[in-house]
Amino acid sequence: MLLAENVVLADATLAWQDVVAVARRGARLLVSDAVWARIDNAQAIVQRIVASGERAYGVNTGLGALCNVSLQAQQLSQLSTNTLLSHACGVGKPLTDEQTRAIMCAAVINYSHGKSGIHRQVVEALLAFLNHGITPQVPSQGSVGYLTHMAHIGVALLGIGPVSYRGRIVPAAQALAEQGLAPVQLGAKDGLCLVNGTPCMTGLSCLALDDAWRLLGWADVIGAMSFEALRGQIDAYDEAIISLKPHPGMQVVARNLRALLAGSEVVASHRGIRTQDALSIRSIPQVHGASRDQFAHVARQVETELNSATDNPLLLGTPEQFRVMSQANPHGQSVAMAADLLTITMAEIGAISERRLDRLINPLVSGLPAFLVSQPGVNSGMMIVQYVAAALCAENRQLAQPAVVDNYVTSGLQEDHLSMGTNASLKLHRALENCTQILAIEYLLAAQAFEFLQQHGFGAGTGEAWRLLREHIAPYDQDRWLAPDIATSAALLKDPSLLAQRFPGLG
């Protein structure tokens, strides 16, 4: 993990890229004095409530359907500990370290508003985990929107459960001891603050935005290669025509395609060979552009949530004059819908890619050797990789079923409408991985198609993309083990800096 710049929580609005910097690039997350003052003020309100005996949900009452059970004194600290222990019941494969780090980062941002009432030392413990590379092992399944994932993070702060630390999986207590840290001591409301809110779905969605943005750029590059390999008709991308349908994303994609294909002898020499291309070729600006517009909407929703106070209850005012408000800010409907929308968006990027790559291997429409190999018959060539792409598209179609429309009743009828936002975010990650593999296959096939068109010059950007792939993968002269080629192609698409380095003018 590369150490990036610091991300400082103060009064400025945070962007999804800030979460990515902490979770993926190792940026240190720091808290300003003004934020600490807000956190301390809210905690002082909690102490005033405890001292007065005024009933406040989660401060001195039970949780969920037990909200009318009043608690006192030592029971309040015990409630916080018990909340984490009882809620840490997730199942399934652990999240990746970067996914858990994104969740922890989003949680600290949530507490920075000073409306939660969490003790300073709990936030300090989360910061220590992030900045010293102690990452709780969090089961991926079991959330209806929140609760379980943050509970597993919370028990690790107590020294309970496994964590990833210095390249090993060790007990949390061992990592704390090696780092010279003590298990955190919880007070009133700390347990509820740790499990409540939307940091899980929001943190995961920030990472998904990073992946999606990179894939949208690669989709234009690879789509342009397929267009050129299939000798597409460039008039479909004419600026005057595209401007008549002024969706912002569509304009960007068309500009990208024109720049990538600039100077192409392949395109110029085949102008007019057909009246119009198949839709998967001529509608790239419309389809990719719509995806970019939906991305922009999703990013706004996620960033709004990231900069929101999402606990329940929320504490307003000062210890001398305060209000305790029970409400539903932990309900993650906005992020859940946004994650579902981005899943649909990326499923469509994969779907049109699969249609393009299918045309590349089909000699009935490509004008190229069958399955892009010189001696088809004895060689199967690129036949079966299209099967793989079709299978991934089918899975993405299943993943595109919205999670948010599912609904279940929990906590004895107390929580009877749920966002399922974490499920939406997790299946979005699966769809993004599938889309990566589909585009990697199209990249492989488009580059192979270029091998049969070398008598002409390629576009400025498409030629660069072909040369880039050839730096890592040799042309396909006869059948060989293809899985490593697909993996290498996918690794290029996942490189965080390669797209900007090799295609600096891409919009």
Domain end, chosen from 167, 196, 225, is at 196
Residues 294, 418 share a domain: yes
| 3-state class (DSSP) for residue 59 | coil
Could you give the C-alpha distances from 298 to 114, 137, 340, in angstroms and in order?
26, 28, 9
Residues 148, 278 share a domain: no
CA 428, CA 346: separation in Å to the nearest integer? 8
Determine whether 476 is an active site residue: no
Does residue 397 belong to any structural domain of this protein? yes
Question: pTM for the full model?
Answer: 0.95
Residues 228, 188 share a domain: no
Domain end, chosen from 169, 196, 223, is at 196
Query: Which domain does 372 fall in, by range?
Result: 205-502
Residues 467, 333 share a domain: yes
Q: What is the pLDDT along the chain (507 residues), one digit of tens a residue?
A: 444 589 999 999 999 999 999 999 999 999 999 999 999 999 999 999 888 888 888 788 776 666 677 777 678 889 899 999 999 999 999 999 999 999 999 999 999 999 999 999 999 999 999 999 999 999 999 888 788 999 999 999 999 999 999 999 999 999 999 999 999 999 999 999 999 999 999 999 999 999 999 999 999 999 999 999 999 999 999 999 999 999 999 999 999 999 999 999 999 999 999 999 999 999 999 999 999 999 999 999 999 999 999 999 999 999 999 999 888 899 889 999 999 999 999 999 999 999 999 999 999 999 999 999 888 778 888 899 999 999 999 999 999 999 888 777 766 656 666 777 899 999 999 999 999 999 999 999 999 999 999 989 999 999 999 999 999 999 998 899 999 999 999 999 999 999 999 999 898
Residues 163, 219 share a domain: no
Does residue 102 belong to any structural domain of this protein? yes
Residues 346, 397 share a domain: yes
Q: Please report, as a single letter, which amino acid is at residue 397.
A: R
CATH number for 264: 1.20.200.10
Residues 94, 40 share a domain: yes
Residues 102, 74 share a domain: yes
Residues 192, 210 share a domain: no
Residues 259, 129 share a domain: no
Could you give the C-alpha distances from 470 to 327, 357, 474, in angstroms and in order?
57, 18, 6
Domain end, chosen from 173, 196, 219, is at 196
Does residue 245 belong to any structural domain of this protein? yes
Does residue 52 belong to any structural domain of this protein? yes
Q: How many CA atoms lie within 13 A of 273 on its CB side?
A: 15
CATH number for 12: 1.10.275.10
pLDDT attached to residue 77: 87
Residues 243, 149 share a domain: no
CA 448, CA 402: separation in Å to the nearest integer? 37
pLDDT attached to residue 414: 65
Residues 213, 184 share a domain: no
pLDDT attached to residue 237: 98
Q: How many domains does the chain have?
A: 2
